[in-house]
Structure 1
Amino acid sequence: MFKEQKGYIVSRHTKEVNGQIEMSLFVKTPDGTVKVIPDRQQTSFFSTIPISELPVDVKGVQYHPTELNSFDHQTVTLIQTNSMTLHSQILKFVKQTGHAVFEEDIKAHDRYLMERNIRGSIRFIGLVEQGGLVYRQAKVIAGDYAPNWNIWSLDIETSVTHNKILSIGITNDLLRQAFVVAPDNTNLENVTAFSDERSLLLGFMQFVKKHNPDIFIGWNLIGFDLHFIDQRCQQLGIRAAFGVNGETWNIRSSENQGKYFASIPGRVALDGITLLKVGGYHFESYSLNNVSHEILGDRKLLHGGDRWQEIERMHQHDLASFVAYNLQDCDLVWRIFKQLKLIQLQQTRVDLTGIPMEQTGGSVASFENLYIPRLHQAGYVAPSWKDEAFVASPGGFVMNSLPGLYKNVLVFDFKSLYPSIIRTFFIDPLARITAQKAPQQNNQHIVPGYLGAHFEVDQAILPELVGELAKAREEAKSSHNDILSYAIKIIMNSFYGVLGSNVCRFYHAELASSITMRGHEILQLTKTWMEEKGANVIYGDTDSLFVVLNDESAEPDVLGKHLCEDINQTLTAWCRDYANVDSHLELEFETLYERFFMPTIRGQEEGSKKRYAGKTNNKVVFKGLEAARTDWTKLAREFQRNLFDIVFNDENPIAYIQSIIEQLKAGQLDEWLVYSKQLSRPLSEYSKHKPPHVRAAMMIDEKRASLGLPLEYNKGRKRIHYVYQTSGVMPYETQADLNHLDYEHYIEKQLVPIADSLLPIFKTNMASLLSQQISLL
């Protein structure tokens, strides 16, 4: 029986079944999650090989002439196969003939969805089998179904001593459950006890199958929790059957990047740390304890480097507290996801670009999903990725600054500068290729780029796409849909990075450079036009200009708005004169800093870059200075914040500086003296130079090894906390490590650089102040 249904794609997969390809979509419907097997089960790729040169009568392989062309303007043949094995074999044959192949790496399920402009929501009709769990021979089109997700916040607790799972916690608004290795007579609310780890895993697996979650969320969920569960299943000989119909999941890691991925048929695993970064959130530390404190004003029930000992003690002697600890971690993650709407953000990205729900990165995939169908409509196939020499495009334009302490500094920003440049100057992979072929004497509208590039206006795909996204973003803003607006912004801003990355098949140095170098030109022109109107530009960076107006007879914000209008009119006229194009460039008057400080490069008179402080609306904003950097101590950050509060209020900071030095030496600021820095790679890779945080991490691992415990930092990529004692660097793990601190180190390395950036304004320096204090002793 054929039945029509609606739903939302949870996961997508392709595998070989009995010598045939099987694409499957796991779809959440109003009646539950079902497996949808589309009617067309084929792999596809293109080649310049003529059909006459291909092997004939190969069962399961079809050849089709097309009117599509490669970027080398050669007509291509479409080659389709009924199995992944045949796909590999025919692909190998074609490559051996010397003919080019295109789009051979696009997965069958991704191509199927891409060609139909399907993102997340679908409608389908298919032959119902297995009690409604499977739809075969399905025809699938885009739909408008909005799913009501069943989301579980998951967290595990483990024994560091025995490398085993002690409990698995699950929470959401309606569910609160802990699966715990505990005595049979355990009688605690929300607790299911198991005699051993194996029974716990099997019981949890049954619970998952019965209650059918769509999405698992957690903190370092895939890299720790799911990876650990997967390892323990392997050790215990348990098949990790966490798929919606009992399929095995696949937890894997990238070889070089230390990233983990989870493929679970019919389910999705989303990590909170990753989604925070996707959402543009920045924290001094991405630990759950820190993020929950900043977002929720709440914390884990235990925190600190030695909490594993207390966890194991509670598991043995205070099970109620142990369970409360486990479930609190689940609750914190659940509340963070709800408050920041992280699931909505991820789903919106899927709806806009068609990336898989589990794919939290994927700028290249997003670009290709949007661009390739349009490219086919224009009569071309996408180029294959080439392992060619990478030519980096120039970065954003950064001006030399004019250092000093200022009043009324106006900041002007170009709205979505790089997407606007793409749209205005028709920067596009296809337009670059067709412009090379277009006869210059004909009437084609050709726009010049950089590094020899030109772009044919009538063939440009990307500017139209950017225009559609820009319009959608304005509509989202007007309807106060902040998540949609931000998701569109992420996508538009990623286009430059994609075109400038050699992991993208469309990469070419001419494309990225035509964006950034045009940005340089626009900023320099704008600076010149502003100075012609009497303004003084003291700094510029990528899409922003910092301006001091010499006219003090009017309100600075009024003058700023007038200047902005004048520049936009000038830009419109320049674009028309330069390349006969309509300007989509828009300068905005962004901020007025009542007080502003641009420092010099440390130890020099030249102005610094990407470092400043400014006061606007009674709030001091720091950029690149110590107060905004997580690798400086709290002492440095608080010192700098208070220092600028004083200076921006036109007060003398010398008494405050002397007071801080006295408090530091008296031991009153010891808890502010902890350094915190991220390990960027495993400890074993620090062979020559070993920075302080690396030495501290090595001390911790040496101590753990002596106790027979697993090494904490052998895989790297964790944040290290350390202090400077009189004997040198020491890991900071407990309050006892705040002994014998080297106060002179903190004065010299943390206070002096900050104070000396401002003290010349007051005709003194830290050396002079310190010598005065010594003379008073």
Structure 2
Amino acid sequence: MFEPQQGYIVSRHSSDVNGRLDIHYYVKTDVATVKVSIAQAETLFFTNAPLEALATDVQGVQCEESQLKSFSHDTVSVVRCQSLLLQQQMVAMVKKLGYAVYEEDIKPEDRYLMERHIRGQVTFVGVPDAAGLSFTQAKLKAGEYQPHWQVWSLDIETSVSRNELLSIGITSGERKVVLVVSPEPTQLENVYTFADERKLLMAFIKFVRKHSPDIIIGWNVIGFDLMFLDQRFRQLGIKPALGVQGENWRVREAKESGKVFASIAGRVVLDGITMLKVGGYHFISYSLNNVSSELLDESKLLTGGDRWQEIERMHREELDNFVAYNLQDCVLVERIFEKLQLIELQQTRVDLTGIPLSQTGGSVASFENLYLPRLHRKGWVAPAWSDDKFVPSPGGFVMNSLPGLYKNVLVFDFKSLYPSIIRTFYVDPLARVVAQALAQDEGLVPGYRGASFQRQFAILPELVAELAQSRESAKRDGNAILSYAIKIIMNSFYGVLGSQVCRFYHAELASSITMRGHELLGRSKQWMEERGAKVIYGDTDSLFITLSDSLSEDEAWQAGKELCEVVNQCLSEWCGDYADIDSHLELEFETLYTRFYMPTIRGQEEGSKKRYAGLSNGAIIFKGLEAARSDWTPLAKRFQVELFEHLFFDLDLESYVSEFVSDLRLGKFDQELIYSKQLTRPLAKYTKTQPPHVRAAKMADEWRQQQGLPPEYDRGRKRVQYVYTLSGVVPYLTDSDLEHLDYQHYIDKQVLPIAEGVFQMLHLNVVDILTPQFNLL
């Protein structure tokens, strides 16, 4: 009998080997990352075809009745296959016979873990090879292993003019290594020189295999670094044998989305930009220089549009500075990951949902991993994929605002509104189909668009309750990462149920969440107004109200707390009267704006939506205004912040605006006049319109072509920097592009629109104030 081993699943794989399904996992243990192959691996699917219609005499296929039912209330059979090819053939045969298939698309390596409630931590037992690095005939169950990851931060430098690899930089804690193409050896510490790209890449493979990193991080590391390396491997005829046991990596680009994916056996690659978005972090620009400047107060050693020329020069003439530049990028990424605990966040998501460690998205996968085992235990299989027409659910509640300048604006938020609606009103895929089939009213909770939910069969409410309880425990323990990870999982349920990429999608499900949200916001608004509050705005899960301007800050806080308690009591009583259900809805009062600005829609009298500014606890908060948007210049953001400082702290607005425009014309803000906007698709796809950033990108690529350089923007998905000069839009490539700037454009398009709304509410005319400086006609 072999001893059980503890570990953590790094990557998961399945394929047919010699006609039989092979499921194996790479598992990190205290000794090494080992390959664990499952005993008697099989893949399966369900069907409503009767057994007599199935080919039960095919070798490697086993068909049997099950105790499960489909959402169409048919008894289903299970078809087990010993290879992926056999399953593919059986699915095709069943469909040709006119029967339905269920769960045929679930990967066998995912199903094996899902059905055993295995997430990342695992205990396994199997037959080891002589080296103890591969285990066969293995069985797995959930474990309690906590890994200590070896993390590499990787960054490459390339020659833009020759489209060649110059170096690969790696940092991992104290280890800092650079592999560089250089004709001469160097005395620089931990810098290894190679005569050409081929020798460098071969050395890189050996280095990876020798030191075996678990997780590779970087900035756009998959979309650029690995993609470029893969192209050079293929160009030079080198097999990228970078897996734990020498397997070739796979780097591929999805044709439709253009997204790049990387798969390395026994290793995980995590991109910094993607992980920031997973973590809920928002930046005006996701460039490494901008993010590191904001988070770390550090920056890249070179910046600017022409830095590629300086990189090539340093590579030729100043190898020490070139190496320092390469390593600095690695170090910045490493520090960002450490500061924000992004690897801990990703592992927490795996521990909660069972998604692969490499999967940074995966809301649908997370949902299915949590829901399917519970569904099977209740005796049902997931529904077949539907070709029904997509019916979008109504969006979140958004009421027209009452524009104006206010004092004492109180903001009330429903705590986890959509998960709370699911839990309170039993919104659930299974509960919906059971309610349709049972001709009884007992136990039903009404939904919307004709839906109702049989509460005894609901799975999601119980799941949400478990997650909510875990989140409260995480908050008490001060575990912010776990609390946030649970939050994003719970909040994803609504989006999953309303998305056609989920097999459980139905218009009645998502609508029963959002339309219930509309009702709850509307009722809460009514209850507040009955008690003397004035509701000036509402958005998804929030209500903004005003009380008397004469209240002190302390009095406003006390009034808000009392009103919150009253509304929560009203919600509880209403739920009991409505459907004899317990309310898990909770309204919270956490924000008081002592000064508040709600604008009109530009050029209209109607109140705006999702746009406001307020002063709370001494800090000015912007929502949806120019200071919070990435498509306005730094000048606009500076102006808006300073303008509202003057407004909320009762300073002289008229003098400030006049002096600001004067300084603008004197060139004091030239470095803040650079627009930055993302290309969302390849340049050739912009056919109907040519926005300014597209025109600038085309001009930049035309210049590069004249210099004999490859295009930079033709594939899209890059941020373009540009300015307005007296001759029109030009790309910002060097500081020389800041000559002959069109200051009138920036006054008209960046300053005036921000100032107008505020001055209008103060019954002042900003045009009169600025007329001496510029002509508005």
Same fold (TM over 0.5): yes
Whether the aligned pair in 1 keeps the contact of 2:407 and 2:549 (CA below 8 Å) is no
1:250 aligns with 2:250: yes
Amino acid at match of 2:515: M
2:499 paired residue among 498, 501, 506: 501
Aligned to 2:13, the other structure's residue is in SS state strand
Residue pairs, 1:397-416, within 5 angstroms: 397-416=397-416
- How far apart are the structure 2 equivalents of 1:263 and 1:133? 20
> 1:146: how far off?
0.2
2:541 paired residue among 540, 543, 547: 543
Whether the aligned pair in 2 keeps the contact of 1:216 and 1:269 (CA below 8 Å) is yes
2:484 paired residue among 467, 483, 486: 486
Distance of aligned partners of 1:265 and 1:774 in 2 relative to their CA distance in 1, 3 Å threshold: closer
Amino acid at match of 2:639: F
- How far apart are the structure 2 equivalents of 1:387 and 1:728? 49
> 1:550: how far off?
3.3
Residue pairs, 1:298-313, within 5 angstroms: 298-313=298-313
Whether the aligned pair in 2 keeps the contact of 1:591 and 1:616 (CA below 8 Å) is yes
- Report Cα offsets for 1:371-430 as digits up to 9, x if no partner: 000000011000122233211101001011111000010000000000000000000000
- How far apart are the structure 2 equivalents of 1:198 and 1:2? 44
- Report Cα offsets for 1:487-525 as digits up to 9, x if no partner: 000100000000000010000000000000000000000
- How far apart are the structure 2 equivalents of 1:358 and 1:61? 32
Which residue pairs with 2:152 in the alignment?
152
Whether the aligned pair in 2 keeps the contact of 1:295 and 1:336 (CA below 8 Å) is yes
Aligned to 1:572, the other structure's residue is in SS state helix
Which residue pairs with 2:204 in the alignment?
204
- Report Cα offsets for 1:711-749 as digits up to 9, x if no partner: 100111111111110111011121111111111111111
Residue pairs, 1:440-451, within 5 angstroms: 440=440, 444-451=442-449
Whether the aligned pair in 1 keeps the contact of 2:23 and 2:38 (CA below 8 Å) is yes
1:455 aligns with 2:453: yes
Distance of aligned partners of 1:774 and 1:15 in 2 relative to their CA distance in 1, 3 Å threshold: closer
Whether the aligned pair in 1 keeps the contact of 2:181 and 2:197 (CA below 8 Å) is yes
Question: Which stretch of structure 1 is more off in the superposition, 488-497 or 52-61?
Answer: 52-61
Aligned length: 773
- Report Cα offsets for 1:32-72 as digits up to 9, x if no partner: 01000112310100000111111132110001210100000
- Report Cα offsets for 1:136-160 as digits up to 9, x if no partner: 1111000000000111001111111
Amino acid at match of 1:238: I
- Report Cα offsets for 1:326-365 as digits up to 9, x if no partner: 1111111111111110000000000000000000000000
Whether the aligned pair in 1 keeps the contact of 2:744 and 2:774 (CA below 8 Å) is no
> 1:3: how far off?
3.4
Aligned to 1:660, the other structure's residue is in SS state helix
Aligned to 1:763, the other structure's residue is in SS state coil
> 1:661: how far off?
1.2
Which residue pairs with 1:655 in the alignment?
655
Which residue pairs with 1:765 in the alignment?
765
- How far apart are the structure 2 equivalents of 1:433 and 1:56? 31
Aligned to 2:131, the other structure's residue is in SS state helix
> 1:2: how far off?
2.9
Whether the aligned pair in 2 keeps the contact of 1:663 and 1:669 (CA below 8 Å) is yes
Which residue pairs with 1:631 in the alignment?
631
Aligned to 1:561, the other structure's residue is in SS state helix
Which residue pairs with 1:140 in the alignment?
140
Aligned to 2:170, the other structure's residue is in SS state strand
Amino acid at match of 1:612: Y
Aligned to 1:473, the other structure's residue is in SS state helix
> 1:73: how far off?
0.2
Amino acid at match of 1:272: G
Amino acid at match of 1:508: H
Amino acid at match of 2:533: A
Which residue pairs with 2:520 in the alignment?
522
Whether the aligned pair in 1 keeps the contact of 2:71 and 2:433 (CA below 8 Å) is yes
> 1:256: how far off?
1.5
Amino acid at match of 2:713: Y
Aligned to 1:427, the other structure's residue is in SS state coil
Residue pairs, 1:227-238, within 5 angstroms: 227-238=227-238
Amino acid at match of 1:572: S
Whether the aligned pair in 2 keeps the contact of 1:536 and 1:550 (CA below 8 Å) is no
> 1:549: how far off?
1.3
Aligned to 1:252, the other structure's residue is in SS state strand
Which residue pairs with 2:90 in the alignment?
90
Amino acid at match of 1:502: Q
Distance of aligned partners of 1:728 and 1:419 in 2 relative to their CA distance in 1, 3 Å threshold: same
Which residue pairs with 2:128 in the alignment?
128
Which residue pairs with 1:703 in the alignment?
703
Aligned to 1:681, the other structure's residue is in SS state coil
Question: Which stretch of structure 1 is more off in the superposition, 512-521 or 679-688?
Answer: 679-688
Question: Which stretch of structure 1 is more off in the superposition, 126-135 or 145-154?
Answer: 126-135
Whether the aligned pair in 2 keeps the contact of 1:633 and 1:675 (CA below 8 Å) is yes
- How far apart are the structure 2 equivalents of 1:601 and 1:144? 55
Aligned to 1:385, the other structure's residue is in SS state coil
1:30 aligns with 2:30: yes
Which residue pairs with 1:342 in the alignment?
342
Which residue pairs with 2:751 in the alignment?
751
Residue pairs, 1:312-391, within 5 angstroms: 312-391=312-391
Amino acid at match of 2:358: E
Which residue pairs with 1:533 in the alignment?
531
Amino acid at match of 2:537: Y
Whether the aligned pair in 2 keeps the contact of 1:128 and 1:135 (CA below 8 Å) is yes
Distance of aligned partners of 1:772 and 1:186 in 2 relative to their CA distance in 1, 3 Å threshold: closer
Residue pairs, 1:566-581, within 5 angstroms: 566-581=566-581
- How far apart are the structure 2 equivalents of 1:612 and 1:579? 37
- How far apart are the structure 2 equivalents of 1:705 and 1:184? 32
Amino acid at match of 2:117: N
Amino acid at match of 2:541: D
Which residue pairs with 1:558 in the alignment?
558
> 1:622: how far off?
0.5
> 1:773: how far off?
4.6
- How far apart are the structure 2 equivalents of 1:674 and 1:703? 19
Distance of aligned partners of 1:298 and 1:424 in 2 relative to their CA distance in 1, 3 Å threshold: same
Which residue pairs with 2:615 in the alignment?
615
Question: Which stretch of structure 1 is more off in the superposition, 384-393 or 744-753?
Answer: 384-393
Which residue pairs with 2:511 in the alignment?
513
Aligned to 1:289, the other structure's residue is in SS state helix
Give the share of equivalent positions with the same residue, in percent: 62
- How far apart are the structure 1 equivalents of 2:761 and 2:219? 47
Which residue pairs with 2:221 in the alignment?
221
Which residue pairs with 2:72 in the alignment?
72
What's the TM-score once normalised by structure 1's chain length?
0.98
- How far apart are the structure 2 equivalents of 1:256 and 1:68? 37
> 1:263: how far off?
0.9
- How far apart are the structure 1 equivalents of 2:380 and 2:240? 44
- Report Cα offsets for 1:120-140 as digits up to 9, x if no partner: 000011011242111111110
Whether the aligned pair in 2 keeps the contact of 1:627 and 1:641 (CA below 8 Å) is yes
Aligned to 1:144, the other structure's residue is in SS state coil
Which residue pairs with 1:261 in the alignment?
261
Which residue pairs with 2:731 in the alignment?
731
- How far apart are the structure 2 equivalents of 1:540 and 1:41? 54
Whether the aligned pair in 1 keeps the contact of 2:408 and 2:549 (CA below 8 Å) is no
Q: CA RMSD in A?
A: 1.2
Aligned to 1:301, the other structure's residue is in SS state coil
- How far apart are the structure 1 equivalents of 2:97 and 2:548? 70
> 1:551: how far off?
8.0
- How far apart are the structure 2 equivalents of 1:382 and 1:625? 44
- How far apart are the structure 1 equivalents of 2:549 and 2:181? 74
Distance of aligned partners of 1:279 and 1:774 in 2 relative to their CA distance in 1, 3 Å threshold: closer
Whether the aligned pair in 1 keeps the contact of 2:721 and 2:731 (CA below 8 Å) is yes
Which residue pairs with 2:41 in the alignment?
41
